[in-house]
Amino acid sequence: MGPAWLWLLGAGVLASAHRDKSLEVPQPLNPQLLEPAPAHHRVTPTITGFALRLYKQLAADWPGNLLFSPVSIASTLALLSLAVQANTSALILEGLGFNLTETTEADIHRGFQSLIHTLQLPSPKLELKVGNSLFLDQQLKPRQHFLDSVRELLGAFAFSANFTDSATTGRQINNYVREQTYGQIQDCLPEFGQDTLAVLLNYLFFKAKWKHPFDPYQTRKKESFFVDERTSVHIPMMHQRAMHRFLYDAELACTVLQIEYSGNALLLLILPDPGKMKQVGAALQPEMLTKWSRLFLPSLLDLHLPRFSISGTYNLEEILLKIGLTNVFNLEANLSGITGHLNQTIFRVTHKAAVDMHEKGTQAGAASGLLSQPPALGALPAPSAHFNRPFLLLLWEVSTQSLLFLGRVVNPAAG
């Protein structure tokens, strides 16, 4: 019998920006002001560091749009760490960036437990759905201890599957993910053979209203977006004048902007000066994000932001090897954590994410007064941020300080 296959799938979808009539000054993403619960704090800073390392590897190999969900990928790998033998589990967690001499594996899993639980708490203004699932071949006899652990720590449910009928089972899993993400993630699982033993997956769905609404009547349907020095495309460009926290980092040559949602989430947008995308991407560090959070100042801003939909699908095993996850995906890694028996298994890691950013609107007039410039500042021109060239986006859930999505928009017309 040849090697068995185990697919790990992370699927994240972000659907953002309905219109809302409320208007408040966004609060900064400041770890000192928004201290996560201790259990979250065990994992969220590490996930952020992992996300920035992964972005740099993807950006080096991928010239176009990028989008992935750090929380989704990290949760999938945390689920995998419970399924394999102990030494492989340690490799996975260390590859994510955890120091096992400072934080035990049990504490790490309790951190993920707290993170997933908190992200799923109901909110009237924010729709956020996170889940883990396992599809195990019917020939596997999972241990009850394993099933109890993954359900308790990661909220993961295990389903029996018939992988000998790979076409039917593939459709069932794809349909399951499509239903869990309300149709936003489709055909996320590539074709697999009859020797597949298990599919481990995480899905994440996010939908929120802007705290500062965009007036759809202010959107210009065709405006130039400069992909590079030689290429431009025409795209819909949203426009608003509103209070936002932003800054210009002269050292890195980029504008940094926070846009808050009406729920407990915010979007960080980084707009490099022309030709500076590689420089800014290479300099991204968690410390840089913290520094910016302390320097933001609220001010009226003349904002131009593309309306766009992009997605990304990646086979990540080669990239994960480059950032430290060695000897996990192709060397005697096995499912002994599931069954108690050793099986030589070859892992494949697939991830798909999608973002839809728009100004879905009812009436335009309700917000126009709220967004007008205060009379006291009537004579002063508002600074502007014109996102008409490639930029980065980082979407955060504030209460846990977790990075839900990280992306690079190079061509908003490319999808």
220-265 pLDDT, tens digit per residue, is: 988 999 998 889 999 999 999 988 899 999 999 999 999 988 878 8
Q: Are 111 and 190 in contact (CB under 8 A)?
A: no
**Interval 265-294 mean pLDDT:** 92
Return the bridge partners of 403, or none: 396
Quote the pLDDT of residue 341.
61
What is the average pLDDT value for the chain, to the nearest integer?
78
Q: How many helices (H) and strands (E) does the chain have?
A: 12, 15
- Where helices occur in 155-234 by DSSP H, the ranges are 166-180
Quote the pLDDT of residue 277.
95
State which amino acid sits at residue 212. Answer: H
* Residue 189 clears pLDDT 90, i.e. is over it: no
Q: Where are the beta strands (DSSP E) in 172-307?
A: 196-209, 220-226, 232-249, 254-260, 265-272, 297-306
| Euclidean distance between CA atoms 231 and 413, whole angstroms | 12
pLDDT range class, residue 9, cuts 50, 70, 90: low
Q: Where are the beta strands (DSSP E) in 254-307?
A: 254-260, 265-272, 297-306
Q: Could you tell me the two tokens for 131?
A: 């889940």
Main-chain dihedrals φ then ψ at residue 175, nearest 5 degrees: -65, -40
352-395 pLDDT, tens digit per residue, is: 777 777 663 221 111 111 121 223 333 345 688 899 999 999 99
| Euclidean distance between CA atoms 55 and 258, whole angstroms | 20
- Residue 358's SS3 state is strand
Main-chain dihedrals φ then ψ at residue 297, nearest 5 degrees: -125, 135
Quote the pLDDT of residue 17.
43
Q: Please tell me which residue, 53 or 360, carries the higher pLDDT value.
A: 53
Main-chain dihedrals φ then ψ at residue 374, nearest 5 degrees: -60, 140
* Residue 270 clears pLDDT 90, i.e. is over it: yes
Q: Are 232 and 226 in contact (CB under 8 A)?
A: yes
* Residue 28 clears pLDDT 50, i.e. is over it: no
Gyration radius of the chain's alpha carbons: 22
Same fold, 4-208+309-356 and 211-307+382-409: no
* Residue 206 clears pLDDT 70, i.e. is over it: yes
| Euclidean distance between CA atoms 382 and 394, whole angstroms | 25
* Residue 162 clears pLDDT 80, i.e. is over it: yes
**Interval 397-403 mean pLDDT:** 90
* Residue 85 clears pLDDT 90, i.e. is over it: no
| Euclidean distance between CA atoms 250 and 239, whole angstroms | 25
pLDDT range class, residue 27, cuts 50, 70, 90: very low
**Interval 397-408 mean pLDDT:** 90
Domain spans, the chain: 4-208+309-356, 211-307+382-409
| Euclidean distance between CA atoms 324 and 313, whole angstroms | 21
On whether the 4-208+309-356 domain is CATH 3.30.497.10, my answer is: yes
| Euclidean distance between CA atoms 117 and 137, whole angstroms | 28
Architecture of the 211-307+382-409 domain? Roll (2.30)
Q: Are 321 and 329 in contact (CB under 8 A)?
A: yes
298-350 pLDDT, tens digit per residue, is: 888 899 999 888 777 777 777 778 777 766 665 455 666 666 665 555 556 67
Counted residue by residue, the chain has a size of 415
Task: Give which of 215, 205, 233, 221 is closest to 355, Cα–Cα.
Answer: 205
